[in-house]
């Protein structure tokens, strides 16, 4: 008689493997990682790892999807809980700028997978999903800001893409800036650039 599969246990084990993959990816490039490395980090056998993920590419793609889903959910929840569209923009920036270590960890993996996405359609699709998720959050905030009159009339697709470009650009510069105050400086630059772009020309620049 076949043993009954516990879906909750399977989901938990799968997430444990994804968390282990994330930790291993922070320690060395994906090209140097083996399924054995991930299994060791997760405290399971390689056979267990292969049961859930047949190849490195499969587990890497799943890890990236898992990571961006978590970030996207957090970003969306904080933006929706904000008191107004300006506060929602601040919430998005603060979600990204969670701390210097968090930014370094995210972009360590992000840049690795981004480079793979340029050559591998599978990774490219996950990267596309990440940008779509970010643009969706930005699109909703800007739409509401225009409706309330606190943002100027802008092309929504352009504004959503602009917001992500500013965030990525500031974060990438921060990674290579050793100035002690760099984190707060780039966080402030990011917020100023976004609100400067979105606010009507006549709007007062409230202290940020």
pLDDT of the residue at 165: 93
Give the chain's domains with CATH numbers.
8-54 (1.10.10.60), 63-198 (1.10.357.10)
Q: Determine the Cα–Cα distance for residues 5 and 10; give it in Å rounded to an integer.
A: 8
Q: Which pLDDT tens digit goes with each residue over 31-50?
A: 899 999 999 999 999 999 99
Q: Which pLDDT tens digit goes with each residue over 45-102?
A: 999 999 999 999 999 999 989 998 898 899 999 999 999 999 999 999 999 999 999 9
Residue 204 has pLDDT above 70, yes or no: no
| Full DSSP string of 132-186 | HHHHHHHHHHHHHHHHHTSS----HHHHHHHHHHHHHHHHHHHHT---TTHHHHH
The contacts of residue 33 (CB under 8 Å, 6+ apart) are 24, 25, 56
Per-residue burial over 134-158, b if 16 or more Cβ lie within 10 Å, else e, is bbebbbbbbebbbeeebbbeeeeee
Alpha-carbon separation of residue 207 from 154, 191, 200 (angstroms): 23, 11, 16
Q: Determine the Cα–Cα distance for residues 183 and 202; give it in Å rounded to an integer.
A: 30
Alpha-carbon separation of residue 184 from 2, 117, 195 (angstroms): 57, 31, 16
Q: Determine the Cα–Cα distance for residues 72 and 90; give it in Å rounded to an integer.
A: 15
Of 182, 99, 105, 87, the residue nearest 144 (C-alpha): 87
Of 171 and 123, the structure prediction assigns the larger pLDDT to 171
89 close to 187: Cβ distance less than 8 angstroms: no
Q: Which pLDDT tens digit goes with each residue over 130-170?
A: 889 889 999 999 999 999 999 999 999 999 899 999 999 99
């Amino acid at each position: 008689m076949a043993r009954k599969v516990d879906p909750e246990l399977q989901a938990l084990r799968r997430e444990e493997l994804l968390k282990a993959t994330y930790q291993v990816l922070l320690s060395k490039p994906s090209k140097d990682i083996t399924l054995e490395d991930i299994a060791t980090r997760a405290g399971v056998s390689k056979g267990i790892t292969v049961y859930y993920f047949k190849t490195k590419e499969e587990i890497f793609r799943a890890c990236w999807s898992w990571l961006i889903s978590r970030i996207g959910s957090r970003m969306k929840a904080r933006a929706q809980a904000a008191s107004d569209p300006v506060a929602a923009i601040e919430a998005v920036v603060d979600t990204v700028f969670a701390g210097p270590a968090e930014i370094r960890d995210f972009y360590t993996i992000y840049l690795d997978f981004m480079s793979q996405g340029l050559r591998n359609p599978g990774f490219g699709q996950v990267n596309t999903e990440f940008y779509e998720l970010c643009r969706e959050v930005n699109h909703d905030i800007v739409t509401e800001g225009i409706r309330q009159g606190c943002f100027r009339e802008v092309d929504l697709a352009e504004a959503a893409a602009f917001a992500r470009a500013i965030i990525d650009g500031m974060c990438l510069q921060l990674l290579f800036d050793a100035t002690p105050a760099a984190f707060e400086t780039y966080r402030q630059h990011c917020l100023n650039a976004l609100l400067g772009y979105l606010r009507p020309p006549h709007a007062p620049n409230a202290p940020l």
